[in-house]
Each structure stands twice: as structure tokens, then as C-alpha cells.
Chain A
Amino acid sequence: DGGITQSPKYLFRKEGQNVTLSCEQNLNHDAMYWYRQDPGQGLRLIYYSQIVNDFQKGDIAEGYSVSREKKESFPLTVTSAQKNPTAFYLCASSIDRAPQPQHFGDGTRLSIL
């Protein structure tokens, strides 16, 4: 079955540490997205990519970085510059450059140790 796989499901970060969240899709979708969700809040866009080797900042890109070396993969790095990283991170994809409908992974929950 096609879908989006995010790993790990839970992740703990120490102060000053960078961590990388994995997102892989086998839907052959062109576009991929990273969102952050805080309790009781909507989804806020961190980064998105419409094509391999190209990506754009979303609304809250500071303290995050991404790469898109393969169509299937869009990893997100939460850097030490992100001072409040505790959140639920969701990866999504859409079939082409139109941003909907989006298919989501099951998310990674990141906490600070």
C-alpha cells in the first residue's frame, strides 16, 4: 500500500542537539510539506518542496532545515537554534504542485529532555 512513513514516532532532544525527522513517501507525489502542530492549534507550515533539489520556507522556518535529494524523501532537521521544539511534526505530500489534497504521515512527537 502506498503512503507516507514518518520515523521515529517519538523523539527526545537534548539541549544544543540537532535531530532529524524522517519522511518517506511511495506515492510518487511531486510535492512534500512539513508542518508543526502545537496542542489545540492548527498546522503551521515549516518548509515545502515541489521538486527534487528545491524547497521553500513556510511560515515558521527559523530553526529548521530540510533537504530534497530524492523524490521520495524529505527529511527535517530541528536545529539547536529552535528554542521551543516540543511539538507534533507532520509530513505531507500532494500529487503535483497544487497543494491539495494532501496525504499525511502519522507524525513524530518531539520532546525536550
Chain B
Amino acid sequence: GQSLEQPSEVTAVEGAIVQINCTYQTSGFYGLSWYQQHDGGAPTFLSYNALDGLEETGRFSSFLSRSDSYGYLLLQELQMKDSASYFCAVSGYSTLTFGKGTMLLVSP
């Protein structure tokens, strides 16, 4: 089977940097994805790491270490609109397996 662990909640202030960690146990691993979901809304794709290292997309970066079964999402210059839930997801050959999500609360 597959399992993912990520913190349930993280708090930060505007302008700060926050890191959301994700550890996983899985078979048939192809990569790690990150999705953002605002309350009651549709999840949106943020990033995908198939190889070890850091991927940067604007204020967001994602990191993967396959040997450690570990990844993280880094959010810089936090804005109020970044308050949302963030899900890591392990990509298998045909499907994604999602973690339970991390709720990020950004305060002024």
C-alpha cells in the first residue's frame, strides 16, 4: 500500500517563508505532486517532482529526495491568498495517492 504523512496545520505571517513537509511510503513511485485547495473549492496543480532536487515556479518551490522518501513545498513571500490546504500526492503509474493535507493559515 501507500501512505503519506504531512502536518495537519501550519501558521505563518504575511511576507514569511513556510515549508510543508511530506514523507511517503509507497511502491511503484514515479514522482511527487503538490496541489492547493481553497476552502470548498477545486484542487489546483502546483508542481511535480520526478527527479531529486528543487523545482521553482515563482514564489513556490518543491523539493524531492527519493532516497529519503521525502519532499517539501516551500512558499515564499506569503500572501493572505495563500491560506488554503496543500496536498502532497504520490504519482504511481496510473493514479495519484493523496496525503490528508496541510492547512496553511496566513495572518497579517
- Where the two chains meet, the residues of A that have a C-beta atom closer than 8 Å to any C-beta of B are 31, 33, 35, 40-45, 48, 50, 56, 58, 88, 90, 92, 97-107
Contacts and interface: CB of A to CB of B under 8 A. Distances in A.
A43 B41 CA distance: 13
Interface of B: 4, 8, 30-31, 33, 35, 40-45, 48, 87, 89, 91-101
Given A106-B42, A107-B40, 18 more contacts: A33-B95, A43-B43, A43-B87, A43-B96, A44-B98, A45-B97, A88-B40, A92-B43, A98-B91, A99-B91, A100-B48, A100-B89, A100-B91, A101-B48, A102-B43, A102-B96, A103-B45, A104-B44
Contact of B92 (A31, A41, A99, A106): A99
Nearest to A101: B45
Contacts, number: 64
B8 to A, nearest CB: 8
A92 B94 CA distance: 13
Contact of B98 (A31, A43, A50, A101): A43
Contacts of A90: 42-43
The 3 closest A-B pairs by CB, nearest first: A101-B45, A42-B98, A104-B42
B33 A101 contact: yes
A97 to B, nearest CB: 6
A44 to B, nearest CB: 8
B94 A99 contact: yes
Contacts of B100: 40-42
B39 to A, nearest CB: 11
Contacts of B4: 42
Nearest to B1: A59
A44 B87 CA distance: 12
A86 B100 CA distance: 18
A104 B37 CA distance: 10
B43 A100 contact: no
